[in-house]
Amino acid sequence: MDDKIKALMSKRREASLGGGEERIAKHHAKGRFTARERIQMLLDEGSFEEFDMLKEHRCQHFGMASKQFPGDGVVVGYGTIEGRLVYVFSQDFTVFGGSLSETFAEKICKIMDMAVKNGAPVIGLNDSGGARIQEGIESLAGYTEIFQRNVMSSGVIPQISGIFGPCAGGAVYSPALTDFTVMVEKNSYMFLTGPKVVKTVTHEDVDVEGLGGASIHTTKSGVAHLAYPNEEETIQAIRELVSYIPQNNLVTTQKKETSDPADREIPELNAIIPENPNHAYDMKEVIKLTADDGEFMEIQPDYAANLIIGFARYGGTSVGIVANQPQVLAGVLDNDASIKGARFVRFCDCFNIPVVTFVDVPGFMPGTVQEHGGIIRNGAKLLYAYAEATIPKVTITTRKSYGGAYCVMSSKHLRGDINYAWPCAEIAVMGAKGATEILYAREIKAAGDKASEVTTEKEAEYTEKFANPYEAAKRGYIDDIIRPLRTRLRICKALDMLENKQDANPPKKHGNIPL
Ligand code: HXC
């Protein structure tokens, strides 16, 4: 028996070295951790249980029969994060460049199936040269089996992707189908076709970073949600993200104990809105001042920064935050912001995470760029997401809420549960300037030299009558006008009250969100 145990241990040792010591050294020299080291950093110490460590590929072409690395380039299994079960796969670049074979895909599919049955998140750590070139169609089949499972798991269990090296070709579609993608700055990239193909087809000169590095995907394309300077911080961010989300779609996120009192008053908020309505302030301050212990995990901070999204807690309850940012483009809703917000609200709705919305929005962005870019279709996405969401929805209007943007931003009419406004809120069909120009065009023209006086007078009249929260409160569209310093208390109480909220949509196969 001892001999057999020794033989087993030897096989396991061999498998744990992946592509071998030389390739590991080469990998480390690039400033990268191995697949196993990443898993160790991700999971609670000693919690990892591995499957299929000795699985081998079945390829017979190109002399592959004699080239075997037990485990075949991907480490899979389960473990815990802060005591919570998660499933994980980690691609091993030291084995055939982390390329995906038929058996490699089978290993990933095995844990994806288990994760759905057992209702726990899947975290994929990607570092791969794509399809195993020696295999061909089996590899494509393997990818597609994974994609199918990504889609079936969507909205059932949370799925998170970390990108630690190359992720190219069709391989990018698995991360793209997951809920969150986190990249390592300067050392990871995602693209459908690499720089050489780009040069041939479009004659553009571009390097991997400029084509699909973290700097592009977190600012321009919106493909990635977060990026960090090194692997340790990237993995830490994934752990933090997991803390805000539940195990699956049938449960809620466990509350986190906090010593931050729910009734904490925040006098700074009474003075945060500038006297001049055209001046900006930082909505992130409002979020941090009101949230438990000032903690806010922002998602996509550098993409469509006019709309803030992220996670925070109130009285220990994990919530999704959606907020207009007056500091960027005056907080206007444009194409990118609408898409960003819509996807996030839908994520929260899938996983029973209440949404707290802070509104200060002058409207939708006008102009040909936006109209030709499909602001009608894209704005409708955000509207659709809020309208179909049955999670608790608490909305605080801090200042402006005009026109279509009023309707969209979690208004009462989209089944907003609790809608509060600060006394300085301006809730109206449009701003005073635009309204005056349309309503009093004839009077202004007839006033000749006195046109500007008439305009000022009419604007003041309109502002007095409509740029306030009272018209909305009179109709019950705003549930209460609250003092800013009591915002945290009112949010905490609202979330407590809504804890057991039940709401449903009519039975249907699925809706037809304007994609
Ligand atoms: C088999 C691969 C491989 C692949 C790399 N290797 N990619 N083996 N299939 N796709 C092997 C190399 O032969 C090498 O083996 C080892 O991995 C490390 O590769 P290097 O090239 O030495 O590393 P590096 O210089 O860091 O370059 C990494 C790379 C490059 C940029 C990823 O290897 C590369 O361009 N690979 C091919 C990428 C590709 O075209 N993939 C197919 C895309 S099509 P040794 O033995 O020397 O260590 C696709 C379709 C998917 O993926 C569709 C899904 C629907």
- Over residues 25-42, the pLDDT tens digits come to 999 999 999 999 999 999
The protein residue whose alpha carbon is closest to atom 47 in ligand 1 is 96
The protein residue whose alpha carbon is closest to atom 30 in ligand 1 is 129
8 Å CB contact between 214 and 223 = no
8 Å CB contact between 88 and 39 = yes
**pLDDT at res. 142:** 96
8 Å CB contact between 93 and 165 = yes
Candidates 382, 343, 380; CA nearest to 179 is: 343
pLDDT bracket for residue 454 (50, 70, 90): confident
Residue 436 CA from chain centroid, whole number:
40
pLDDT bracket for residue 444 (50, 70, 90): confident
Give pTM, 2 decimals. 0.95
**pLDDT at res. 136:** 84
**pLDDT at res. 465:** 84
**pLDDT at res. 392:** 98
Distance 182 CA to ligand 1 centre (A): 22
**pLDDT at res. 171:** 87
The fold of the 2-244 domain, in CATH, is 2-enoyl-CoA Hydratase; Chain A, domain 1 (3.90.226)
Q: What is the pLDDT of residues 75-101, one digit of tens each?
A: 999 999 999 999 999 999 999 999 999
Q: How far apart are CA 107 and CA 343, in angstroms?
A: 29
Best residue among 28, 95, 99, 163 to mutate for probing ligand 1's pocket (most ligand atoms within 8 Å of CB) is 99
Q: Is there a catalytic annotation at residue 79?
A: no
The protein residue whose alpha carbon is closest to atom 9 in ligand 1 is 132
Q: How far apart are CA 290 and CA 93, in angstroms?
A: 44
The protein residue whose alpha carbon is closest to atom 7 in ligand 1 is 129
Q: How far apart are CA 101 and CA 122, in angstroms?
A: 20
Ligand 1: which atom is nearest the Cα of residue 166? 32
Q: Is 185 exposed, middle or buried (CB count within 10 Å of its CB: 0-12, 13-18, 19+)?
A: middle
Mean pLDDT over the full length of the chain: 96
The protein residue whose alpha carbon is closest to atom 16 in ligand 1 is 97
Res 52 pLDDT > 90: yes
**pLDDT at res. 433:** 83
Res 435 pLDDT > 90: no
Ligand 1: which atom is nearest the Cα of residue 95? 17
Distance 163 CA to ligand 1 centre (A): 16
Active-site position among 15, 35, 120, 405: 405
Active-site position among 73, 162, 194, 404: 404
Res 315 pLDDT > 90: yes
**pLDDT at res. 287:** 98
**pLDDT at res. 291:** 98
Distance 133 CA to ligand 1 centre (A): 8
Q: What is the pLDDT of residues 342-398, one digit of tens each?
A: 999 999 999 999 999 999 999 999 999 999 999 999 999 999 999 999 999 999 999
The residue extents of the domains of the chain are 2-244, 267-429+468-497, 432-466
- Tokens found for residue 62: 């190109």
Ligand 1: which atom is nearest the Cα of residue 132? 9
**What percentage of the chain carries pLDDT values higher than 90?**
89
**pLDDT at res. 35:** 98
Distance 239 CA to ligand 1 centre (A): 29
Pocket of ligand 1 (CB under 6 A): 23, 96-97, 99, 129-133, 140, 143, 166, 168-171
**pLDDT at res. 434:** 82
CATH topology match: 2-244 vs 267-429+468-497? yes
Q: What is the pLDDT of residues 205-220, one digit of tens each?
A: 999 999 999 999 999 9
Q: Is there a catalytic annotation at residue 169?
A: yes
Q: How far apart are CA 454 and CA 236, in angstroms?
A: 59
Q: How far apart are CA 494 and CA 392, in angstroms?
A: 9
Res 405 pLDDT > 90: yes
- Compute CA distances 345 → 187, 204, 293, 437, whole Å: 30, 37, 23, 36
- Tokens found for residue 252: 């809620």
Distance 130 CA to ligand 1 centre (A): 7
CATH number for the segment(s) 267-429+468-497 = 3.90.226.10
**DSSP assignment letter at 46:** T
Distance 489 CA to ligand 1 centre (A): 55
**DSSP assignment letter at 506:** P
Beta-strand runs (E) in 137-259: 159-163, 166-168, 180-184, 189-191, 226-228
Buried b (16+ CB within 10 A) or exposed e, 395-407: bbbbbbbbbbbbb
Q: How far apart are CA 269 and CA 256, in angstroms?
A: 25
The protein residue whose alpha carbon is closest to atom 23 in ligand 1 is 97
Q: What is the pLDDT of residues 106-123, one digit of tens each?
A: 999 999 999 999 999 999
**pLDDT at res. 418:** 98
Distance 100 CA to ligand 1 centre (A): 10
Q: What is the pLDDT of residues 272-293, one digit of tens each?
A: 999 999 999 999 999 999 999 9
8 Å CB contact between 482 and 422 = yes
**pLDDT at res. 463:** 85
Q: Is there a catalytic annotation at residue 405?
A: yes
Q: Which of 22-31, 44-53, 457-466 has the lowest mean pLDDT?
A: 457-466
Distance 243 CA to ligand 1 centre (A): 35
Active-site position among 170, 222, 316, 374: 170
Q: What is the pLDDT of residues 57-74, one digit of tens each?
A: 998 889 898 899 999 999
Best residue among 21, 23, 27, 96 to mutate for probing ligand 1's pocket (most ligand atoms within 8 Å of CB) is 96
The protein residue whose alpha carbon is closest to atom 34 in ligand 1 is 129
Active-site position among 162, 169, 194, 315: 169
**pLDDT at res. 103:** 97
Candidates 80, 135, 146, 72; CA nearest to 110 is: 146
Best residue among 61, 64, 104, 133 to mutate for probing ligand 1's pocket (most ligand atoms within 8 Å of CB) is 133
**pLDDT at res. 169:** 86
**pLDDT at res. 464:** 85
Which residue(s) pair with 299 in the sheet? 309
Q: Is 507 exposed, middle or buried (CB count within 10 Å of its CB: 0-12, 13-18, 19+)?
A: exposed
Distance 231 CA to ligand 1 centre (A): 21
Q: Is there a catalytic annotation at residue 404?
A: yes
Res 445 pLDDT > 90: no
The protein residue whose alpha carbon is closest to atom 37 in ligand 1 is 129
